[in-house]
Amino acid sequence: MSRLIYVMGASGVGKDSLLRELARRRPDALVAHRYITRASSGAENCIELSREAFHWRREQGLFCLSWRAHGLDYGVGIEIETWLAAGHTVVLNGSRRALEGARERFGESLAPLLVVADAEVLRRRLIARGRETPAEIAARLARGDEVDSLGDVPRIDNGGELAHGVKALEAWFDMPHAPEHSV
């Protein structure tokens, strides 16, 4: 049975690092890229588009999911539906904001997964990333309580060594269906 592992988490929690390492270790891990209206740092699996190109693609029905966050547009190409229809497991760096739309679009094949880390770990990672001001980082950390609204979504702790987080994600990837508890 095909599954869409929909990975979510706060900025700095290490989603891109986990997905990059999973794809490196597992050729069978179809990690979908996103389309984003900002320059890519090279650390994430995305394709940079101008706002105009993004909106044109959305109008043409080339995204199966799209959302706006932090002044940017994010989209996921319809190719993942082809991969799912072929029976593959697809892994996507999703968004908490777009989770309901993903649930509507993908139904039973959607397997949401929340990546978490301690607030101090997030703060250090966001500072090291260097994309935001101290005030923007503080605002991001203040939104951390949004995670509580996700209720029983399974979680992976990626606050320590990356190898531990990757091992947990890989175990989740290998399960025939979504687990009911945190890994």
Indicate if the pLDDT at residue 82 is higher than 90.
Answer: yes
Closest CA to 158 of 124, 110, 114, 96: 114
The answer to whether the beta carbons of residues 127 and 137 sit under 8 Å apart is yes
Dihedral pair phi/psi, residue 59, rounded to 5°? -65, -30
CA distance linking residue 45 with residue 32, whole number of Å = 8
Question: Pick the residue with more confidence: 178 or 94?
Answer: 94
pTM for this entry? 0.86
Indicate if the pLDDT at residue 182 is higher than 60.
Answer: no
Q: What pLDDT, in 10s, does the model give residues 129-158?
A: 877 888 888 877 777 655 556 778 899 999
Indicate if the pLDDT at residue 11 is higher than 90.
Answer: no
- pLDDT computed for residue 146 by the predictor: 57
- Strand intervals (E) in 9-129: 30-31, 34-36, 46-48, 63-69, 72-77, 89-93, 110-116
Starting at the earlier edge strand, list the strands of the sheet with 63-69: 46-48, 34-36, 72-77, 63-69
- pLDDT computed for residue 181 by the predictor: 43
- pLDDT computed for residue 183 by the predictor: 44
CA distance linking residue 163 with residue 148, whole number of Å = 26
- pLDDT computed for residue 167 by the predictor: 94
- Domain residue spans in the chain? 3-174
Q: Which residues pair with 34 in a beta bridge?
A: 46, 76
Domain spanning 3-174 has what CATH number?
3.40.50.300
Residues 164, 167, 172, 173, Cα dihedral to 10°: 140
- Considering only 37-51, 71-85, 148-162, which range has the smallest mean pLDDT? 37-51
